[in-house]
Amino acid sequence: MSVKNTLLALLYQRAMHGYELRRQLKLTIHAEWDVKPGQIASTLARLKDANLVDYEVKATDDAPDRKVYFITDEGRAELRQWYLTPEVRDYRLGDTFYIKLVLSLVNAPVDPEKVLRVQRRELYQQLHEVTEMRRQADPKTQLPWVMLLDSAVMHLEADLRWIEMCEARLPDLKQYEPSQPKPKTRGRPRRKAKQKNNQPETSLPPGD
pLDDT bin (cut points 50, 70, 90) of residue 132 is very high
* Rounded-to-integer distance, Cα 76 and Cα 82, Å: 10
17-26, 56-65, 125-134 — most confident range: 125-134
Instruction: Say if 188 falls within a structural domain.
Output: no
pLDDT at 92: 63
pLDDT bin (cut points 50, 70, 90) of residue 73 is very high
**Three-state secondary-structure class, residue 14:** coil
pLDDT at 148: 93
Which of residues 52 and 208 earns the better pLDDT score?
Answer: 52
The CA-atom distances, in angstroms, between 16 and each of 7, 82, 89 are 10, 21, 30
Instruction: Say if 52 falls within a structural domain.
Output: yes
- Mean pLDDT of the 138-164 span: 94
Instruction: Say if 191 falls within a structural domain.
Output: no
For residue 15, is pLDDT > 70? Answer: yes
**Judgement on whether residues 14 and 55 belong to the same structural domain of the protein:** yes
- How confident is the model over 77-116, as pLDDT tens digits? 999 999 998 877 666 677 889 888 998 998 788 899 999 9
**Judgement on whether residues 100 and 69 belong to the same structural domain of the protein:** no
For residue 26, is pLDDT > 90? Answer: no
pLDDT at 129: 96
Instruction: Say if 150 falls within a structural domain.
Output: yes
Residues spanned by the domain of 59: 3-83
CB 10 within 8 A of CB 26: no
pLDDT bin (cut points 50, 70, 90) of residue 198 is low
User: How many domains would you assign to the chain?
Assistant: 2
- Please return the burial class of 155, using the count of CB atoms within 10 Å of its CB with bins 0-12, 13-18 and 19+: middle
Q: Is the pTM of this model over 0.75?
A: no
pLDDT at 87: 76
**Judgement on whether residues 38 and 68 belong to the same structural domain of the protein:** yes
**Judgement on whether residues 69 and 119 belong to the same structural domain of the protein:** no
**Judgement on whether residues 57 and 111 belong to the same structural domain of the protein:** no
DSSP structural state of residue 139: T
Q: Of 83, 114, 135, which marks where a domain is finished?
A: 83
pLDDT bin (cut points 50, 70, 90) of residue 158 is very high
Instruction: Say if 180 falls within a structural domain.
Output: no
Instruction: Say if 127 falls within a structural domain.
Output: yes
DSSP structural state of residue 30: -
Instruction: Say if 33 falls within a structural domain.
Output: yes
CB 91 within 8 A of CB 17: no
**Judgement on whether residues 45 and 108 belong to the same structural domain of the protein:** no
Q: Of 51, 83, 115, which marks where a domain is finished?
A: 83
For residue 134, is pLDDT > 90? Answer: yes
* Rounded-to-integer distance, Cα 130 and Cα 143, Å: 15
